[in-house]
Amino acid sequence: MLAFAPMLDEGDFSAAQHIAFLAATLELYGRTLNSVTFLVGDNCSVNQCMARMMGVPMVGCASHRLNLAVRQFLDKQEATLDTIHAVMLRCRTVKNRAALRELTPLAPKLQNDTRWSSTFAMEQRFFAIKDELACIADLRSIFPSPGQIDKMQDLLAALEVIQGFTITLQRHDLAMNEARALLDTLVERFSGMASYLSPHASIVSNATFENAVVKVLDDDVGSMLECERRWQRSRLLDQIPVRPIPPRIPRAWRWKFYRQKEPS
């Protein structure tokens, strides 16, 4: 970390102001903006604008893209999630919370709009205390039917695997080609996620640069397209070591993933 400080102008969070802050920070280390060869960050408009203004490529955050893809996926499960949320919400009343406390020390959890992981946590907690919740008289009128519970179990199974991918993407030693393999595997299973996870998704700031880096890591420069070779000719990729993914790893990911049943 080069700096941890407020912006130079705390009322301005534009791309230009971020660049000015970066320049001021680099100056402390005797460097200039010319030292920056590429940017890495969330796929937001400010970061993409920074990259364009600085004339450098940008590598978008894979975890950010996955979070957006899962949010889109969960929108299609709204009815199922609303049922769980309604039970959990009513269980938080003083009377029902006291009744639940007599049966289990575990408390109900609610989802929030910040991260999809709260939805996963809510589902996990529902199944952890499902039998106890069914014993509370005030919840019986809104308690899900056996068919609804089956759908909830299918959704939970899918979210458990996606959570595993989420954790793997946060590994400090994960290379870009490994991240690409993870996202490609998710797209194979959930084709609707391609709008965010595909290598050529519209959210990707510089797909040709990212593809070029992945091919260098995979020792597959022979398959580069002309637009990707431009980055190779710029010498920007010269310091990237070859780091192919062992063939057994993608197969192991797929084996674990395809065991799960897709929620209906």
> Does 24 share its domain with 90?
no
User: What's the confidence (pLDDT) of residue 122?
Assistant: 95
Domain boundary among 151, 167, 183: 167
> Does 137 share its domain with 43?
no
Domain contains 199: no
Residue 126 C-alpha from the chain's centroid = 23
H-state helical runs in the chain: 15-28, 45-54, 62-75, 78-91, 94-101, 117-128, 130-134, 146-169, 176-189, 194-197, 207-217, 226-233, 248-258
CA separation for the pair 58, 61 (Å, rounded): 10
> Does 117 share its domain with 48?
no
DSSP conformation letters of 205-230: S-HHHHHHHHHHHTT-GGG--HHHHH
User: What's the confidence (pLDDT) of residue 3?
Assistant: 66
Q: Does the pLDDT of residue 15 top 70, yes or no?
A: yes
Structure tokens belonging to residue 235: 């010498």
Q: Which one is predicted more confidently, 129 or 167?
A: 129
User: What's the confidence (pLDDT) of residue 54?
Assistant: 92
Domain contains 138: yes
Domain boundary among 112, 136, 167: 167
User: What's the confidence (pLDDT) of residue 253?
Assistant: 54
Q: Does the pLDDT of residue 91 top 90, yes or no?
A: yes
**Among the listed residues 134, 78, 142, the one whose alpha carbon sits nearest the alpha carbon of residue 111:** 78
CA separation for the pair 156, 143 (Å, rounded): 17
User: What's the confidence (pLDDT) of residue 258?
Assistant: 43
User: What's the confidence (pLDDT) of residue 129?
Assistant: 97
Domain contains 137: yes
Domain contains 175: no
CA separation for the pair 239, 103 (Å, rounded): 60
> Does 74 share its domain with 147?
yes
Summarize pLDDT for 149-184 with one digit per residue, the tens: 999 999 999 999 898 888 888 888 888 998 999 999
Of 35-49, 63-77, 130-144, 238-252, the least confident:
238-252
Structural domain count, the chain = 2
Domain contains 254: no
Domain boundary among 135, 167, 199: 167
> Does 72 share its domain with 143?
yes
> Does 160 share its domain with 92?
yes
CA separation for the pair 135, 96 (Å, rounded): 11
Domain contains 98: yes
Q: Does the pLDDT of residue 238 top 60, yes or no?
A: yes
Q: Does the pLDDT of residue 247 top 70, yes or no?
A: no
> Does 129 share its domain with 39?
no
> Does 52 share its domain with 146?
no
Residue in this structure with the two tokens 């996870």, named with its chain if needed: 197
Summarize pLDDT for 18-29 with one digit per residue, the tens: 999 899 889 989
Domain contains 109: yes
What average pLDDT does the segment 23-45 reach?
89
Boundaries of domain holding 95:
64-167
What average pLDDT does the segment 70-99 reach?
94
Q: What is the pTM of this model?
A: 0.80
> Does 45 share its domain with 131?
no
User: What's the confidence (pLDDT) of residue 221?
Assistant: 86
Of 38-47, 77-86, 151-160, the least confident:
38-47
Confidence of residue 259 (pLDDT cuts 50, 70, 90): very low
Domain contains 125: yes
Phi/psi of residue 40, each to 5°? -130, 130
Tell the burial category of 148 from Cβ atoms under 10 Å away from its Cβ (0-12, 13-18, 19+): middle
CA separation for the pair 125, 209 (Å, rounded): 42
What average pLDDT does the segment 225-232 reach?
85
CA separation for the pair 61, 42 (Å, rounded): 5
